[in-house]
């Protein structure tokens, strides 16, 4: 095994073991954390993610409800479902899997989720709280990345952090977390000129691009911490395997620490969803 690997699977297992105590403490007070996951349509990748989220809840002792809606579901029906879940005391967290079908207005749907149940941290109130440095729910993927840094004692204060990707799900909240933590943060994206000139300065490099092996060894500063958020399925001609945004085999020889795909950020994302759901239940119980 690579010496400088950040093992997301092992860290996720460790955290999930620790959650058992919190779930048991809630159970002793008559509360079982509950998560509702809504999937509209039949996007195959989303189907896998939703299945994994629901089975992780089961393993953690969290009640889960999977709500599958047709791809042509009306926005009105989806909003009515969310209103029902907002009012359901057995549900502490609500997650609407993205992307939504094109005819549905994502922002309207995310804003309809009660901010107290927004375990994805995508509601404007929660995004605002994070931007102000006072987060309530932190989006699961960047939250998992910060936990990886903590576990490996990565010192980010004053360090150069470069995030590739500016999505609401990963890039933007990742940048906010790193800013709040004291790093000097640059956010790059598809329009960035001379990307490598930025990435080569990075002590911490987070790739959330969605392009297989996009980050090559020559783009990485020797000794950098490299976090690969990408989950790309290679074509059958290329072997059909899962592959990250980072050229792992080459970059692992340059980086001080690196996450693999699979087994890196992926298991941490679901783990932090469990954390946010437990947290939501604890807040409701006034813990
Ligand atoms: N689609 C891809 N990642 C995510 C995520 O973290 N949450 C939701 N709701 N949808 C996603």
CATH number of the domain to which 78 belongs: 3.40.50.10860
Q: Please tell me whether residues 92 and 206 are part of one structural domain.
A: no
Q: Which atom of ligand 1 is nearest to the CA of 95?
A: 9
- Ligand 1 pocket test: which of 37, 53, 169 has the largest number of ligand atoms within 8 Å of its C-beta? 169
**What is the reported pTM?**
0.97
Q: Please tell me whether residues 200 and 106 are part of one structural domain.
A: no
Q: Please tell me whether residues 146 and 189 are part of one structural domain.
A: yes
* 242-243/232-233 β-pairing: antiparallel
- How many helices (H) and strands (E) are present in the chain, helices listed first? 10, 10
Residue 129 included in any domain: no
Question: What distance in Å separates the CA atoms of residue 116 and residue 125, rounded to the nearest whole number?
Answer: 10
Number of folded domains that form the chain: 2
Residue 190 included in any domain: yes
Domain boundaries, position 206: 140-266
Q: Please tell me whether residues 75 and 158 are part of one structural domain.
A: no
Q: Which atom of ligand 1 is nearest to the CA of 273?
A: 6
Q: Can 211 be counted among the known catalytic residues?
A: no
Q: Please tell me whether residues 68 and 157 are part of one structural domain.
A: no
pLDDT digits (tens, 9 = 90+) for 9-57: 999 999 999 999 999 999 999 999 999 999 999 999 999 999 999 999 9
Residue 127 included in any domain: no
Q: Can 218 be counted among the known catalytic residues?
A: no
Question: What distance in Å separates the CA atoms of residue 17 and residue 3, rounded to the nearest whole number?
Answer: 24
Closest CA to 211 of 223, 195, 224: 195
Q: Please tell me whether residues 259 and 145 are part of one structural domain.
A: yes
Angle between helical axes of 140-151 and 171-180 (0-180°, round to 10):
40
Q: Can 53 be counted among the known catalytic residues?
A: yes
271: tokens are 């783990």
pLDDT digits (tens, 9 = 90+) for 245-260: 999 999 999 999 999 9
Q: Please tell me whether residues 150 and 230 are part of one structural domain.
A: yes
Q: Please tell me whether residues 87 and 169 are part of one structural domain.
A: no
Q: Please tell me whether residues 258 and 151 are part of one structural domain.
A: yes
pLDDT digits (tens, 9 = 90+) for 52-104: 999 999 999 999 999 999 999 999 999 999 999 999 999 999 999 999 999 99
pLDDT digits (tens, 9 = 90+) for 186-212: 999 999 999 999 999 999 999 999 999
Of 80, 99, 114, the last residue of a domain is: 114
Residue 15 is classified by DSSP as H
Q: Please tell me whether residues 80 and 161 are part of one structural domain.
A: no
Residue 68 included in any domain: yes
Of 96, 114, 132, the last residue of a domain is: 114
Q: Which residues contact 271 (CB under 8 A, 6 or more apart)?
A: 11, 12, 15, 16, 56, 144, 147
């Amino acid at each position: 095994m690579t010496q400088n690997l950040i093992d997301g699977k092992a860290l996720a297992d460790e955290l999930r073991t620790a959650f058992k105590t919190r779930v048991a403490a809630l159970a002793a007070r008559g509360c079982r954390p509950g998560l509702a996951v809504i999937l509209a349509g039949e996007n195959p990748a989303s189907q896998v993610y939703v299945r994994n989220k629901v089975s992780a809840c089961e393993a953690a002792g969290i009640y889960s409800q999977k709500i599958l809606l047709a791809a042509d579901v009306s926005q009105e029906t989806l909003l009515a479902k969310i209103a029902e879940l907002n009012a359901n005391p057995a549900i502490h967290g609500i997650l609407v899997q993205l992307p939504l079908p094109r005819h549905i207005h994502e922002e309207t749907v995310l804003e309809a989720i009660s901010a107290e149940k927004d375990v994805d941290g995508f509601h404007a109130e929660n995004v605002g709280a994070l931007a102000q440095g006072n987060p309530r729910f932190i989006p699961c993927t960047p939250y998992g990345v910060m936990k990886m840094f903590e576990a490996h004692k990565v010192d980010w204060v004053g360090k150069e952090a470069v995030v590739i990707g500016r999505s609401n799900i990963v890039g933007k909240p990742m940048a906010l977390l790193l800013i709040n933590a004291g790093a000097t943060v640059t956010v790059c994206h598809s329009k960035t000129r001379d990307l490598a000139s930025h990435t080569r300065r990075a002590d911490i490099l987070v790739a959330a691009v969605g392009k297989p092996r996009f980050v090559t060894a020559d783009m990485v500063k020797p000794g950098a911490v490299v976090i690969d958020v990408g989950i790309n399925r290679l074509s059958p001609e290329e072997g059909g395997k899962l592959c990250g945004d980072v050229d792992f085999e080459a970059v692992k020889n340059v980086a001080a620490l690196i996450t693999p795909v699979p087994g890196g950020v992926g298991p941490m994302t679901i783990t932090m969803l469990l954390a946010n759901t437990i947290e939501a239940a604890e807040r409701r119980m006034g813990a």
